[in-house]
Structure 1
Amino acid sequence: MNPVVTTAPAPAVTRVELRPRYEGSNICTWIGFKHVNYLVEEAVLDHLRQRGLPAGRLYERHGICVDLSSIDTRMWTAYHIDDLAVATVRQLESEDHRLRFLVEMTAERETSVKTVTARVAVTLRQDPRGFPAEPAPVEVAANLVPRLGPSAEPTLPAGADPVAQLTKGHNAFAWSWRIPYPYCHFTERLQMSGYLRLMEEAVDLFLADRGVSIHTLLSEQNWIPVVPSSSVEMLAEVGMEEELITVFTVETVFKRLTYTARMDCYVRRDGVLVKTATGRITHGYAVIENRRDWRQVDFDDRLLTALRGNQR
């Protein structure tokens, strides 16, 4: 495609005000990690919009799909449902085809409170559906790729029971499911927000499998899991209605304070398992003190045993 020049202004740094979605206020008025990452995503999309490259126009006119392909987020302070989030987005240098951004966020309360730092990679994928398209804007023409992920997809031979195969000998939990269309975008492909939903579900299912479900600790001890950091990296494309195997593996337990787990996702194709994404999430635990405040607590013996792999 021959590039064309756009005349829209292109600020190097952008700023946008956002509000957390009501759906993300699951425990009291705190916003969960998934919806914090949704705010990061919205900030990056707004940055592109302010630079004259809105995702809708890139797709409709130029056949370019804007995919967040990597997101690595550190959460310093919890958001509450009525907070005003202010995000500053800067584009970073990149050594590959992807656009890379630094997102820094605050909550505007009595004073401005640092809440989030995130690094995001955006892949500009050519739409495969074959409709006519205008030439790509010159700013992004060199960044276009025909598929998401590295050129060589990581694979391993598929056994008869991939769930058992991927968890054997590991402190892990896995399940297999069919990708529904609400997790996808651009008509056919699992998107970043779908992986974030999967990571949230993986934590929930893992803890329930170990006898320390979120509801159990909430009802018995008034404890909730809290997330200081999370990341997801897309490695290969996966499509609507494919069977996805999600593996959640506890990697480290730091004293009695936090644990870090890895999420790996696979699809089975032609006798092999193709790894489509990987990510990590770190959890601590907090006790609810009142409707607004919580305080971090040490893991008790029951939780520590469950996390280390000895099921109740």
Structure 2
Amino acid sequence: MTVTRLEIRPRYEGANIGTWIGFKHLNYLVEEAVLEHLRRTGMPVTDLYHDHGLCVDLVDIDTRILRALRVDDLATAEVSAAEPGALRFAVAIRPDAESAKAVSAKVTVALRHDPRGGESADIPPRLRPYAVDRLGDGDKAVEVPESADPIAFLTEGRNAFGWKWRIPYFYCHFTERLQMSGYLRIMEEVVDLFLADRGVSVKRLLDEQRWIPAVPHSRVTLLDEALMEEDLYTVLTVEEVYKRLTYTSRMDCYVLRDGRLVPTATGRITHGYAELAGRSEWGLVSFDDRLAGALSGAALSGAALSGAALPGAAR
């Protein structure tokens, strides 16, 4: 079995709270490690695209964060096959070669045929089982009642928050569609908007209690394709608050086509909270009544569980 080992360093952009690296940028390290593994096993992104018309798409990324990484850590990543005969990989990242794992992930890759290059010729036999004409199948689309607002339709009666957003080109790749790293950015942003809408924004809890959100687990799975400049409807639903220690929410993303909401991605993210005890130390805390009530929707009234929406966001 081929195993790729490489040194990898977090990007400065991901050090949003002190020097700790957030979940999104840890997932970026996972993605970077998988792409390097593909290079070393004879499947570099550039050659696959230009020589064979195949686009490398990460279609599932399931990541557990076991300990913190900081911006100057020169981490060691190890990538191996997670399933024989499939483009599914196991990734382990350590702060250094001798330490316990900081990040453990499973990643699935698809090779999507690029329609701009015409018919795909000269695909090597070993790659043909992984080549697809489309990501997902689009068979779970939901009809939207005539004149209904899609966000209101998706969130009515649920402990959920909705957000409509136009997909910009810089969240896309291969000239047309939203990529996995874009969905990770969306997941981070919809949580941020949700917390602000519930009156427990990241800044407010930092200022008032020195609390920061911490993520032990995230997963994003692509179900279909979302295209550049389409409107993406993202819904975050709180699924479970566990013993006032963590809460898990589900992210569902849709595009509206011909009056039908087409699911393009789904995912889950689990958060706890830590209290900062200075520049270098922190410790996990239990949710107080304010945070627990905000997460459960207890402070909201009405069957739609709606509050005052932020600009650019709606229930």
**Length, aligned pairs only:** 298
Q: Name 1:146's counterpart in structure 2.
A: 133
SS of the residue corresponding to residue 203 of structure 1 reads helix
Equivalent of residue 169 in structure 2, options 176, 181, 191: 181
Q: Name 2:252's counterpart in structure 1.
A: 264
Contact 1:153 / 1:235 at 8 angstroms: preserved in 2?
Answer: no
Q: Give distance in 1, aligned partners of 2:34 and 2:101.
A: 18
Sort the Cα spacing of 1:146 and 1:94 in 2 relative to 1 into closer, same or farther, 3 A.
farther
Does 2:18 align with 1:28?
Answer: yes
Q: Name 2:234's counterpart in structure 1.
A: 246
Q: Name 1:7's counterpart in structure 2.
A: none
Q: Give distance in 2, aligned partners of 1:282 and 1:275.
A: 21
In the TM superposition, residue 133 of structure 1 has moved relative to its aligned partner by 6.0
Q: Give distance in 2, aligned partners of 1:238 and 1:152.
A: 11
Q: Give distance in 1, aligned partners of 2:130 and 2:66.
A: 32
In the TM superposition, residue 130 of structure 1 has moved relative to its aligned partner by 2.6
Q: Name 1:311's counterpart in structure 2.
A: 299
In the TM superposition, residue 132 of structure 1 has moved relative to its aligned partner by 7.4
Does 2:276 align with 1:288?
Answer: yes
Q: Name 1:127's counterpart in structure 2.
A: 114
Contact 2:138 / 2:223 at 8 angstroms: preserved in 1?
Answer: no
Sort the Cα spacing of 1:100 and 1:232 in 2 relative to 1 into closer, same or farther, 3 A.
same
User: Aligned letter for 2:101?
Assistant: K
User: Aligned letter for 1:164?
Assistant: A
In the TM superposition, residue 232 of structure 1 has moved relative to its aligned partner by 0.2
Q: Give distance in 2, aligned partners of 1:60 and 1:152.
A: 27
Q: Name 1:158's counterpart in structure 2.
A: 144
Q: Name 2:31's counterpart in structure 1.
A: 41
Q: Give distance in 1, aligned partners of 2:196 and 2:78.
A: 38
In the TM superposition, residue 311 of structure 1 has moved relative to its aligned partner by 3.5
In the TM superposition, residue 153 of structure 1 has moved relative to its aligned partner by 2.6
Contact 1:61 / 1:133 at 8 angstroms: preserved in 2?
Answer: no
Q: Name 2:46's counterpart in structure 1.
A: 56
SS of the residue corresponding to residue 241 of structure 1 reads coil
Q: Give distance in 2, aligned partners of 1:290 and 1:138.
A: 56
Equivalent of residue 101 in structure 1, options 62, 68, 89: 89
User: Aligned letter for 1:87?
Assistant: A
Sort the Cα spacing of 1:305 and 1:34 in 2 relative to 1 into closer, same or farther, 3 A.
same
In the TM superposition, residue 170 of structure 1 has moved relative to its aligned partner by 0.6
Q: Give distance in 2, aligned partners of 1:152 and 1:203.
A: 26
Larger mean CA deviation between 138-147 and 293-302 belongs to 138-147
Contact 1:153 / 1:236 at 8 angstroms: preserved in 2?
Answer: no
SS of the residue corresponding to residue 112 of structure 1 reads coil
In the TM superposition, residue 131 of structure 1 has moved relative to its aligned partner by 5.0
Q: Give distance in 2, aligned partners of 1:12 and 1:82.
A: 28
In the TM superposition, residue 122 of structure 1 has moved relative to its aligned partner by 0.2
Sort the Cα spacing of 1:28 and 1:141 in 2 relative to 1 into closer, same or farther, 3 A.
same
Contact 1:211 / 1:311 at 8 angstroms: preserved in 2?
Answer: no
Structure 1: tracts of 5 or more residues without a match? 1-10
Q: Name 2:69's counterpart in structure 1.
A: 79
Q: Give distance in 1, aligned partners of 2:232 and 2:282.
A: 36
Structure 2: tracts of 5 or more residues without a match? 301-315
Contact 2:82 / 2:106 at 8 angstroms: preserved in 1?
Answer: no
Q: What is the root-mean-square deviation in Å for CA atoms of aligned residues?
A: 1.5
User: Aligned letter for 2:263?
Assistant: K
Q: Name 1:6's counterpart in structure 2.
A: none
Q: Deviations over 1:146-191 (max 9, x none)?
A: 0001x35311111320100111011000011110001000001000
Matches within 5 A, 1:203-222: 203-222=191-210
SS of the residue corresponding to residue 61 of structure 2 reads strand
Q: Deviations over 1:43-66 (max 9, x none)?
A: 000000000110111111111000
